[in-house]
Amino acid sequence: MNEKRIKSDEPRLSLSLKTPFESVNKIPSLEEALNSELEHGQVDPNMNMKKLRRTISNRLSAQRSRMRKTQYIDLLKKEAKDLEEMIAFFGRKIENDKDNNKKLQLETSLTNLIYSQCKMKSWKLS
């Protein structure tokens, strides 16, 4: 068990796992992949089945891992796009609110000016 494994000791499996299972979102079960490899692959019939199952299991695990990574990256890209859209929306909203604030400040200044003029007129009349 502690002996070092050499790459050439691993069974030479063809990539026939991809052929019958073209769907990106469907990874075959271990049994499906094993049957497919036995039918379509170039597997030595004398190969230890336990070793073949382990190799196929590792390949399927790697496929699932790559799929999860791809889905995670897609999710991050979508979140980044959504955040960029929010930033653009709130940037426009801030500019709009700044314009409204300036208008309100001008309106307040004008109202205060008119009020002070009316107040002065009322003092002069008294």
DSSP letters spanning 16-70: TTTTT---SS-PPPHHHHHHHHHHHS---TTS-HHHHHHHHHHHHHHHHHHHHHH
Q: pLDDT of 92-110, one tens digit each?
A: 999 999 999 999 999 999 9
The confidence score (pLDDT) of residue 17 equals 47
The confidence score (pLDDT) of residue 126 equals 63
**What does the angle CA 32 – CA 67 – CA 14 come to, to the nearest 5 degrees?**
45
The confidence score (pLDDT) of residue 20 equals 41
**Do residues 23 and 2 touch, judged by C-beta distance below 8 A?**
no
Q: pLDDT of 47-93, one tens digit each?
A: 788 888 888 889 889 999 999 999 999 999 999 999 999 999 999 99
Q: pLDDT of 2-47, one tens digit each?
A: 555 555 555 455 544 444 444 456 788 888 888 887 777 777 777 7
Could you tell me which residue, 126 or 107, shows the higher pLDDT? 107
Q: Is 48 left (phi over 0), alpha (psi -120 to 50) or beta?
A: beta
